[in-house]
Amino acid sequence: MLDERKLMVLYAVIKSYIESAEPVGSRTLSKNYELGVSSATIRNEMSDLEELGYLSKPHSSAGRVPSDKAYRLYVDQLLKLNMAPMDDIYNRKIKEILARESWNMEDLIQSSAKILSAITNYTSLVATPKLKGSHIKQLQMVPIDGVGVLTVIVCNNGLIKNSIYKTDYGISQDELNMISNYLYHQFKDKTLDDILKILNQGRIVLYQFDDDFLKGLLNALTDVIKELITIELYSEGITNILNFPEYKDIEKAKSFLSFIEDKELLINILQNTALSDDIDIIIGQENIYSPIKDISIITATYTVDGKTVGKIGIIGPTRMDYLNLIRILKIFSRHVSNILEKNV
């Protein structure tokens, strides 16, 4: 463990580099930070920190930059702090933005990426996870003249999914109530994964209805269940990464943009982070994927009744403003979870 003076110097280097993106020298630290020691002492401490792997010296520069090891130490210390008082400026701003709409769960999760990207000026990602373990809380079917049948499914976690089965077959509301009540009792207390198996096995039989109509209606219902157990991914502010000097290099920018277009890769990353309702951070070389060895990802979850219903992430260079971004993400995920709880 580093002693107090080394930690003080290291954190000053990190803060300076986050703000400027320029290698940091002892003179900069002595001038801009009240460290209580001489420039010579700062130089010695920085030299020691370099030997310990916390700092590195770029070619053709007298200054030093933090390593991933330094950021990890810094971030771990931040995560131990209670950094998100509910009356701070971020809380007020986020609360005001989210209060502008009357949200249902799906719209809120989809809009979260856009809102968070606008607040932070970073690239953001939101994923709605597989809901195989969820249950159907409500199932309703409504005839739409000249169109077909609207099916509305409400899950126990608050997610609402609508679909329209287009058909010329004439059917009344009473008949659809009969079908939806029958299906609800067939599906009651079963997981979405089990419901999908029932539908695929053709175990639903209602002899009083036309076979072709019922088959089409059940196929449409099957598609809805498949959507509910498939991860959806939303991204916003993709070009925000280009605002950072680290990504002025064309090849580096192209590599990032190619990575961000790989939906399966992004889903895999989000699936393996933020497994609880807390913040999770992957820094630089901790990423197992080569295109993102020089970026960091901060993730959090949305929860309803203790169950994860969505994940959100912020992507940026390892020189991220971790302090503010962690605070913002904690407050943001807390507010979204509260809204979802109220709408379940």
Distance CA 321, CA 16 (A): 11
Distance CA 164, CA 152 (A): 9
- 125 with 266: CB under 8 angstroms? yes
pLDDT of residue 82: 61
Strand arrangement, sheet containing 295-304: 232-236, 123-128, 307-317, 295-304, 280-283
pLDDT of residue 283: 93
- Write out the chain's pLDDT in tens, 344 residues: 789 999 999 999 999 999 999 999 999 999 998 888 988 999 999 999 999 999 998 876 778 999 999 999 999 888 877 654 555 777 888 888 888 777 766 677 778 888 999 999 999 988 875 666 678 888 999 998 878 899 988 887 667 788 889 988 888 899 999 999 999 988 888 888 888 888 888 878 787 888 888 889 999 999 888 877 777 788 899 889 888 988 888 888 888 888 888 877 787 777 666 555 578 899 988 887 776 788 899 998 887 777 677 788 899 999 999 998 998 998 888 888 888 777 65
pLDDT of residue 343: 63
Question: How far from 37 is each of 9, 47, 265, 267, CA to CA, in Å?
Answer: 10, 15, 47, 47
Q: How many other CB atoms sit within 10 Å of the CB of residue 79?
A: 15
Burial (Cβ within 10 Å: 0-12, 13-18, ≥19) of residue 255: middle
| Domains parsed from the chain with CATH numbers | 4-66 (1.10.10.10), 83-129+231-343 (3.30.450.40), 136-228 (3.30.390)
The structure's pTM equals 0.74
pLDDT of residue 55: 95
pLDDT of residue 53: 96
Distance CA 164, CA 167 (A): 9
pLDDT of residue 173: 92
pLDDT of residue 279: 85
Q: Is the dihedral of CA 154, 160, 166, 171 positive or negative?
A: positive
Pairing of β 148-155 and β 136-144: antiparallel
What spatial distance separates the first Cα and last Cα of the chain, rounded to whole Å? Answer: 47
Tell me the two tokens of residue 62.
């007298």
